[in-house]
Copies of this chain bind each other. A is one copy, B any other.
Amino acid sequence: MKRETQDKKYRYEEIHDRMMRMVAKGVYRPGERMPSIRELSRSMGVSLNTVKQAYLLLEDQRIIESRPQSGYYVRPRGFDLPRQPDFSGPDLSPVQIPSAHISSQILSHAADPGMVPFGAAIPADECIPAAKLSSIMASQCRRQLHDSTAYSMPPGHVRLRVQIARRLTLAGCDVDPDEILITTGACEAVFLALKTLCRPGDTLAIGSPVYFNFLDMFRELSLKILEIPSSPETGLCLDTLETTLTSQKPAACLVISNFNNPLGVSLTDTKKEEMVRILARHKVPLVEDDINGDLSFVNVRPSVARAWDKRGEVLLCGSFSKTLAPGYRVGWLAGGRFREQAFRLKMMVSLASASPTQLAVAEFLHSGGYEHHLRHIRRIYANKTAAMADAIHRCFPAGTRITKPEGGFTLWVEMPEAVDSMVLYEKAMAQGISIAPGSLFSTTSHFRHYVRLNAAAWSDRNAWALETLGKMARTLMDSS
């Protein structure tokens, strides 16, 4: 009986994913009618209710809409994707990173109850399984008096490393648990990976735009950077990467491969494989940040570039900060052939990560609630992301373009060029609204009129804040 329920559940999600792909491929185009619930039920041999559930989800995600007495239609996509500024070319040269005090301000806003947290990419409170985690934490600490209080020396608790290795099979890789190093969030994982690969003064190739806190990190590591342009539709430009590697010799390359921060885009399997091949040819190791990989809106876990790595030169970074609890600070690094250096570095930097949170996350993964939890929050984020994009489209100046991510929970918004996002940031902050101005995501000035918004913080209660932002942006246009 239980089994049958699970099968049904799986089918409704399968139908959802299949229809979503068909819309994405243009089999059904904006304005066209979708197959009726009855038709689909018959052709796929499932109950009416199963199809209804799939359609409701697609409706939640603003992919289809129901018209009374008429059926379901593919919604018109009312806004364009942000453009990819063209800043590739033969003049690409390593750049020093200017200091940015603002990024730490934005991160601090995340913990400030007086701010609407559209800035930092923090998960929604309702997506944190706090009660379950706390109960697991309590039982783990009581049962494991020694392990919860003693050092968990690098590489970290084996039970957690085994669970992570198991999950990585879903992303197409076969990683030895002994290669995995537990870190204080993905942030420390990336920090350790870069510190393992680069010396001060070295050059790092990065997908651009990039998560602003990383730019600050690169500066602290005294790295120069080469920004390889990435498109919100296809991700990293491999041609530019290839050209750049021929003329420059970066010590490493850093890419956020799935549900990119800020672009929302994932590299296709073909591009991931090609990227790994290009980097291997030039003997440049890759730091792959997969922090959002578990947050695909369709219930299929995307692959990681690491799956095509044959040389141990893709250092894969992940964390449970976006899916379970950011405050647990449980991240990890699969350091490939650099694992030993990474372990030693971890000892020098912070000796070990906290033990109780490692035990609690391991138990959460082990007890089997994680996949169920993911299915739950993926739907919420799909919904929030679509709803916020709609609202931006309504409130922001004409000509605003918005990404349509397929996972994660951030939106990358291109406003008309007259809007300086730094000015918008200051004005918004004065009204208790935190945003992440585009200027912070690059050393170039290409993203001055962009802004990244945290859709996890979207709710009807926060609609006023978005309207205020839109009004401000329009005022900035008029006054320019």
Partner-B contacts on A (CB < 8 A): 101, 103-104, 107-108, 110-111, 122, 125, 128, 130-131, 133-135, 137-138, 141-142, 145-154, 183-185, 187-188, 191, 195, 199-200, 213, 216-217, 220, 222, 324-329, 343-345, 347-357, 360
Report the copy number of this chain in the oligomer: 2
Partner of A357, one of B103, B130, B151, B354: B354
CB pair A149 B184 closer than 8 Å: no
- Measured between C-beta atoms, what is the minimum distance from A273 to chain B in Å? 31
Beyond A134-B141, A184-B350, 15 additional contacts (C-beta under 8 Å) are A104-B154, A125-B150, A128-B149, A130-B146, A133-B149, A134-B142, A149-B326, A150-B325, A151-B326, A188-B350, A200-B200, A213-B351, A328-B354, A329-B353, A349-B349
Residues of chain B within 8 A of A125, CB atoms compared: 146, 150
Q: Which residue on chain B has the smallest CB distance to residue A135?
A: B142
Secondary structure class of chain A's binding surface, majority of residues: helix
12 A-B pairs in the complex with CB atoms less than 8 angstroms apart: A101-B344, A122-B151, A135-B142, A137-B141, A148-B325, A149-B328, A184-B353, A185-B350, A327-B356, A329-B354, A329-B355, A354-B357
Q: A150 and B327: CB pair below 8 A? A: yes
Residues in B whose Cβ lies below 8 Å from that of A152:
111, 327
Residue A130 contacts which of B107, B148, B352 (CB distance < 8 angstroms)?
A: B148
Closest 9 CB pairs of A and B: A327-B355, A138-B138, A149-B325, A134-B141, A354-B354, A130-B145, A184-B350, A188-B350, A111-B153
- Decide: A352 and B329 in contact? CB cutoff 8 A: yes
Contact A149 B327, CB 8 Å, known A142-B134, A356-B357? yes
A8 → B minimal CB distance (Å): 32
A135 partner residues in chain B, CB cutoff 8 A: 142
Contacting residues, chain B, for A191 (C-beta < 8 A): 348-350
Q: Which of B141, B222, B347, B357 contacts A133 (CB 8 A)?
A: B141
Q: Which residues of B contact A154 (CB under 8 A)?
A: 104, 108
Question: CA–CA, A127 to B150, complex, Å?
Answer: 11
Smallest distance from the beta carbon of A291 to chain B beta carbons, Å? 11
Residues from chain B with a CB closer than 8 A to the CB of A349 are: 187-188, 191, 217, 220, 349
